[in-house]
Chains A and B, each alone.
Chain A
Amino acid sequence: NAGVTQTPKFRVLKTGQSMTLLCAQDMNHEYMYWYRQDPGMGLRLIHYSVGEGTTAKGEVPDGYNVSRLKKQNFLLGLESAAPSQTSVYFCASRNDDSRGTQYFGPGTRLLVL
């Protein structure tokens, strides 16, 4: 049982390049989330999904797209990376109980030059 895994762990992009971050969970959770963490800002929600085939915008969705084609995977895409997207990205998942614990992945560190 690996929990929540994220790929890649670290990536450097040039401005304008695109990439996809992959999040996978093996706990059969319905809800999945993408957050970004910036110094002094805590974690802010980018997008989330309440089930396979669904996605919704969070607090800071601009410049990102997501897809949830399979229940266990939640992809975060950057179509045209900008330096402002330099951050650490965390994926999380939980079951469909609103009191349920969110389990976090180890994070992806992204640097956009």
Chain B
Amino acid sequence: AQSVTQPDIHITVSEGASLELRCNYSYGATPYLFWYVQSPGQGLQLLLKYFSGDTLVQGIKGFEAEFKRSQSSFNLRKPSVHWSDAAEYFCAVVKQAGTALIFGKGTTLSVSS
């Protein structure tokens, strides 16, 4: 069965510092992978997605993610974090047969000044 693991429940980063949020997936075939962001009290917004091809994908708000098949990972990165990036981040994979997303449990990002 497909699953997604986000090992870090909570991360604190200084404003201006770089960020990497980890995501590992379990899936038997080429996965479709997504990163969503949820600001407090809001719905989820898509940051980026990977289907195939170039393993480094660019998203909105200056985020990027790299797909590494050998490590079953899809880590999210940003070179310089802004205070407005404080939110909860979810990694997700499309369930086989393309019906629903399987979400990780999320990583809460705090940004310190």
Residues of B within 8 A of A105 (CB): 43
CB proximity of B80 to chain A, nearest CB, Å:
26
Residues of A within 8 A of B100 (CB): 33, 45, 48, 58
Within residues 24 to 47 of chain A, which ones have a CB less than 8 A from any CB in chain B?
Answer: 31, 33, 35, 40-45
Contact call B90/A43, Cβ cutoff below 8 A = yes
**CA of A40 to CA of B43 in the docked complex: distance in angstroms?**
16
Partner of A99, one of B43, B45, B94, B103: B94
**CA of A35 to CA of B44 in the docked complex: distance in angstroms?**
12
Interface size class of A (residues with CB under 8 A): 20 to 34
Within residues 9 to 37 of chain B, which ones have a CB less than 8 A from any CB in chain A?
Answer: 9, 32, 34, 36
Contact call A43/B99, Cβ cutoff below 8 A = no
**CA of A92 to CA of B94 in the docked complex: distance in angstroms?**
14
* Chain A, interface SS category: strand
Q: Is A73 interfacial (CB 8 A cutoff)?
A: no
Residue of A nearest to B100 (CB): A45
Contact call A41/B105, Cβ cutoff below 8 A = yes
CB proximity of B82 to chain A, nearest CB, Å:
23
Total contacting residues, chain B, CB less than 8 A: 22
Partner of A107, one of B43, B45, B94: B43
**CA of A105 to CA of B45 in the docked complex: distance in angstroms?**
10
**CA of A8 to CA of B92 in the docked complex: distance in angstroms?**
27
Partner of B105, one of A40, A101, A104: A40
Residues of A within 8 A of B97 (CB): 98
Interface flags for B81-103 (1: CB within 8 Å of A; 0: not) read 00000000010001001111101
Interface flags for A72-113 (1: CB within 8 Å of B; 0: not) read 000000000000000000101000001101111111000000
**CA of A45 to CA of B99 in the docked complex: distance in angstroms?**
10
